[in-house]
C-alpha cells in the first residue's frame, strides 16, 4: 500500500490497544516523532524508514492497513486481523 495516513496510524494503534510510548518503543522512534506522524493530515509525515517501522509494529500487533477502495466507503482504513 501507499504511505498510510496519520489517522490510519492513530486508529491502528488504538485498535491494537497500545500507547504512543509503547508503539514508539516497538518502532525504535521517539514519542514526538510518532505524535507528528499521527497528527498528519494525509500521508504520514516522517522519514520513510520510520513510517515503515511503525507500520510493521502495528501489523505485528494485528492491524491491517487498507488502501482507498478496499473499504465500504472507498477511502483508506484499518482493521484488526481475524
Could you write out the DSSP letters of every residue in 56-77?
HHHHHTTEEEE-TTSSTTSS-E
Average pLDDT in the 9-30 region?
98
C-alpha dist (Å) from residue 42 to 46, 68, 76: 12, 12, 10
Gap between the Cα atoms of 73 and 45, Å rounded = 24
pLDDT value for 25: 98
Q: Which of residues 14 and 69 earns the better pLDDT score?
A: 14
For the domain bounded by 6-80, which CATH number is listed? 1.10.260.40
pTM of the complete model: 0.89
Give the pLDDT confidence of 23-79 residue by residue, as tens digits: 999 999 999 999 999 999 999 999 999 999 999 999 999 999 998 754 456 778 999
pLDDT value for 40: 94
Amino acid at each position: 500500500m501507499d504511505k498510510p495516513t496519520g489517522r490510519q496510524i492513530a486508529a491502528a494503534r488504538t485498535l491494537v490497544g497500545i500507547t504512543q510510548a509503547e508503539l514508539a518503543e516497538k518502532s525504535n522512534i521517539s514519542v514526538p516523532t510518532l505524535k507528528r506522524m499521527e497528527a498528519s493530515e494525509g500521508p504520514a509525515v516522517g522519514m520513510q524508514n520510520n513510517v515503515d517501522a511503525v507500520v510493521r509494529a502495528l501489523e505485528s500487533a494485528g492491524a491491517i492497513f487498507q488502501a482507498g477502495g478496499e473499504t465500504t466507503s472507498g477511502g483508506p482504513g484499518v482493521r484488526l486481523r481475524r
